[in-house]
């Protein structure tokens, strides 16, 4: 009786995951389809907005995440929580921003353009930011443990 209950539960979980992913795709596709290509072309040439968005997304947000980790590290923030915070703040904005822009009649073409550009830029900036800030926050470069071992060996020789 217990095994049939768990198999039907896992079947339902898989179905719910597929259905929610399909609905999310349709929502994003539907919103993006409402934007005219000419408006997207105009936004690509909006250098100030693009530069402001990219710099905020890939410089300011990861830096704020890093500063939050430093501030909260000795106040109960565990290492997995800190790594999660660094990953979230280094990741590009998603299509959820497009939904908010659509809801409040903001510039949806700019939001869709920024989502596309930040997705492309993130292929380089996400690993670079994580490498920089994880090493800065936790010193995973391997140099901290190597230096201590060398000191202990030097003291043993004396």
Structure tokens at 145: 């443990």
> Rounded to an integer, what distance in angstroms lies between the CA atom of residue 152 and that of residue 64?
37
Calculated CA dihedral for residues 145, 73, 88, 42, nearest 10 degrees? -100
Q: How far apart are CA 135 and CA 133, in angstroms?
A: 5
**For position 37, what pLDDT does the model report?**
81
Which is higher by pLDDT, 37 or 88?
A: 88
Conformational region of residue 76, where left means phi above 0, alpha means psi within -120 to 50, and beta covers everything else: left
The residue ranking higher by pLDDT, 85 or 151, is 85
The H or E element that residue 95 is part of is: none
- Band (pLDDT 50/70/90 cuts) for residue 143 is very low
Q: Residue 69: its pLDDT value, please? A: 95
How close are the terminal C-alpha atoms of the chain, in Å? 70
43 within 8 A of 49, measured Cβ to Cβ: yes
């Amino acid at each position: 009786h217990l095994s049939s209950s768990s198999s039907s539960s896992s079947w339902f979980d898989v179905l719910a995951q597929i259905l929610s992913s399909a609905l999310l795709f349709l929502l994003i596709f539907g919103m993006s389809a409402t934007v005219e290509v000419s408006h997207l072309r105009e936004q690509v040439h909006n250098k100030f907005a693009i530069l402001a968005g990219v710099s905020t997304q890939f410089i300011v947000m990861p830096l704020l995440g890093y500063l939050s980790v430093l501030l909260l590290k000795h106040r109960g923030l565990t290492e997995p929580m800190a790594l999660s915070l660094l990953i979230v703040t280094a990741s590009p904005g998603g299509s959820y921003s497009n939904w908010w822009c659509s809801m409040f009649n903001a510039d949806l073409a700019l939001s869709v353009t920024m989502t596309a550009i930040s997705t492309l830029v993130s292929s380089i900036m996400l690993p670079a930011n994580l490498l920089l800030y994880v090493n800065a926050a936790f010193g995973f470069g391997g140099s901290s443990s190597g230096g201590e071992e060398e000191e202990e060996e030097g003291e043993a020789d004396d």
